Structure 1
Amino acid sequence: MSQQIKNSISKFKSKEALIGIVGLGYVGLPLMLRYNAIGFRVLGIDIDEQKVEKLNAGESYIEHIPGVKIQQARTSGFEATTDFSRALECDALILCVPTPLNKYREPDMSFVINTTDALKPYLRAGQVVSLESTTYPGTTEEELLPRVQEGGLIVGEDIFLVYSPEREDPGNPSFETRTIPKIIGGDTAACLEVGIALYEQAIDQVVPVSSTKAAEMTKLLENIHRAVNIGLVNEMKIVADRMGIDIFEVVDAAATKPFGFTAYYPGPGLGGHCIPIDPFYLTWKAREYGLHTRFIELSGEVNQAMPDYVLSKLIDGLNDAGKALKGSKVLVLGIAYKKNVDDMRESPSVEIMELIESKGGTVAYSDPHVLVFPKMREHHFNLNSEPLTVETLAEFDAVVLATDHDKFDYDLIKQHSKLIIDSRGKYRVPAKNIIKA
C-alpha cells in the first residue's frame, strides 16, 4: 500500500479530513448533516447563492430537515460556499448534482460535467472524488476519469475515484442516511479502499462492488425494478376498472401472500428524481450496444400515460354532471410527487394541472407542504396553495386527489366536494361523488 493511500485512509479514520459536498439538495444536505454529526468538518459547495446564504444563516429550505439541525451544523464546523476554488481544501469531494433527462428523454449530463470541470483546477493529490448522482453505466469511467486525470494526477495512485449512488427516500421516517446500506465501486482497487474508508465512518453498512459500472448498474436496477412493477400495477388498474374491480382491494388481498409477492400501488404517474428518469438512462446506453430494452420502455410508456388517464376520468365525471372541462374550475389536491414531503421533482400532479389548462379548465391547487408553486425548470404556475375549507371546496366543480398527504381532511373533502377524482385509492367505500382514477 502506497503512502498516499495510507495517508488518505488515516485522515478519514481519524476524522481529520475535510468533507466537501457539491450540491446541497435532497441528497447532499442529509449527507452533510450526517458527516457533521459524527465530528467531521464539512464544506458545502453549491452554485445557488440563495441556498448558500440560507444555510450560512442556519436556515433549511427542505421541509423534512428542520432549521435547528442546520443551526447546529453551523456551530460545529459546517460552512457553505459558491466558491469552487475552496475544493482545494477538501480531502473528499462528493458530487450530489442533478441528472435529469432532456426533451428527447436522453440523459442530460451537463450538471455532472460542468461541476467536474469547475472542480478540475482545484483537484490535488490525496483527494477522493465520489459521484453519487444516478446515471448510466460507464459515466464515472467515461466522463469523470479523463477529467480528473487531465492535470497530471493518476487515478488510483495520486487521487481516488469512486461511484456510490445515493439512496435517499425523502420523508420516510423508517430510514435515515446512516441506516441505508451504501453501494460503492472504485475505478481501481486502491480507489475502492479509500472510498470505503470515506463512507464507513458515516454509514452503518458499506457494500463494495467490483467496479464503478457495477455500482451504476445497481442503482438503475433498483429504480427500474420499481418503475416496471408500478407500470404493471397501473396497467392492471385500467383493466380492473373496466371490469368493475377495485385494484386497491386486489393488491391488499394479494399482499397477504407471505412469499413471492411485493405490493405496489397504482397512482397518477411517477414522480421524484429517480423512478421516472433512471430507466431511460439504461435504455439510452443500451442502444450503444445494439440492444433495445423493450420491457423497460413499455413500463415507461404505461406510467407516462397515467396523467392522461386521470384527465379522462375527470372529463367523464364532469360530463356525467352535465359539464365540460372547458370553463370548469378544478382543484388539484397535492402537488408534491409523494405524500408528506415538499419535493416537486417530476411530480405527475404538475402534468395533470397542465393538461387541465390545455383543455380550457381553470386549475388551482391545495398542498400543505408546498404553499407557493415553486420555480421549476420546465413548468410554472403563478399560484399559491388554496386553504382547504368548506367554502373553498364549494367553489370548484371537481377536485383531483393527486397526492394523498396525511394533513388533508378526507372527510371534509368527501362531504363538500361536488366531484372527486381519486387517483390514490384513498376512498375505498364507493360514493356518488367519487370516481377512482
Structure 2
Amino acid sequence: MYLKSLIKPFIYLSFLTKLIYALQTDCDTLSDLYKEFETESKISWPEHSTECCSVQGITCKNDRIVSINLQRQGFKGKISEKIGLFSELTFLDLRYNEISGTIPDTISSLPKLTSLNFGANFKINGSIPKALCSLDSLSNLYLYQNELSGTIPECLGSLPKLEELCLDSNKLTGHIPSSIGKLSKLKHLDLENNKLSGIIPENFSKLDKLEIINLQGNEDLIGELPEIKNVNDCSYANTSLCVKDGTKTCHNNLRKCEAKDTEKVLEYNKTNSKISVDDDVDDDVEGDDNKNDNDNPKKGKSGSGSTVITIILLLLLLILIGVGGFFLYKRSKKGDDNNEDDNSIKRSQSKKTILPFRNEPSIQRLQSQRTEKSFIVLSPKLEEETPPPKLTLDDTIFNYVDVKNNKGDISLNEDSKMSKSSVGIKTQEQYQNHMQYQDLLHNQSYYLE
C-alpha cells in the first residue's frame, strides 16, 4: 500500500506529460531545435501552430514535418535531444553548419528516416552512435568532415537498405567491419582520411552493386585488395594495400603484392584473433543485451526514444521509492528490536528459579501446624561483559531451633554457619532449607533479583 501511494502521483504525472507531448506540435519541436542552435531569431511562427511548414527548407505533410533541409544556416549549438520527436521525418540535412557536440541517441526514434546528413560541420565529436543501427529505412548516411572518433560500429552492416556510407575525414580507428561486406545494396563507400588499420574484409568481393570506394589516407591498411567486380571509381592512395598480378578490379595503380605483404597479413591476423577473443569475453561480461543491440538494431527501438523529461521522472520515482523503502526498513527493524527485547524478557522470566526462604521471626510460628513461607526469585546470571554482583545474604535469617535445651525450651542459635551435627534440626524441611542456604553461599551463578 505504501509503494502504491508513492507510485500513484508519478502515474498521474506521466499521463500529464503524455498530454503535453500530444499538444506539442512538430513546429514546437522545431523551435526547440532552433534554440539549441542558438538561432531563436529565426523562429517566426507562433507556439502550438503549424505555420513553420511554410518556412524555407521545411516540408510538411498533414501538418507533420517530413523533411528538414537546413544546410548552410550558420547553426552553432548542439543537436537537441528532442529531434527524436519528428516521428514522420524522412529527410534530415544539416550539413555545412558549425554544429558541435555528439549525435543524440534519440535519433533512433526516427523509423521513417531515409537520408541523414550531418557532414561538414567539422565539430561534431564523440563516437558514431549505435542508435543509428535501428534506422531500418536509412539509405544514405553522411557523417563526413567532423571529429568523430572510435571504431565503426559493426551493427551498421545490419542496415538492409543502406546505399551510401560516407564517414571520411574523421578520426576513426580500428579495422573495417566485415559486416560492411553484407550490405547488398551498397553503392558508395567513402572511408578516406581516417586512422583505419588492418585488411579489407574478403567478403567485400560480394558487394556486387558497389561502384565507388575510397580508402585513401589510411596508411595502416595492409594486404591484398579483394576482387570487387563492378567498381569503376576507386582510390587507395597513401595506404599499404597491394593487388595480385593480373587482377581486373579497379585498383588505381596499386603496387603488386610481395612476400612481406603476406607476412604483415599473417601477423595482423594473429594479433587480431587475440583481440577478438578478448572482445568476445568482454561482451559476455557486459551481457547478452549489449550484443543483441549491436547485431540486431531493431531490438533497440523500444527504449531509445525516451525524452529528457521522462528520464528525470523515472529518476525521481526511483529516489522516492528508495526513500520510502528506507523508512519502511527502519520501521520494520525497530519492530523487530522491540520483539527481540520482549522475547529476551520472556526467556529471562522462563529461566527464573524459585527457592524457599524461611521467614520465621518467632518461636510460635515454628510450632504452628501451618508453616508460612516467603520466596526469593533468583535468575541465572546472563552472559554480559560486566558480571553481576556476587550473592550476599544475612546469615542471621537462617537461624535454627536448638531442640537439645535441657529445659525443654526452644531457643535461637545465633551462629548461622553451624553444621548439621551442632544445630538442632527439628524437621526434614529445616534440613533442606539449611542445605539450600549452604549451596547459595558457594554458588556464584545466581544473583538476587
- TM-score w.r.t. length of structure 2: 0.19
Structure 1 or 2, whichever has the larger Rg, is: 2
- Taking structure 1 as the reference length, the TM-score comes to 0.20
Normalized per residue, the structure richer in strand is: 2
Higher relative contact order (Cα pairs below 8 Å, separated by 6+ residues): 1
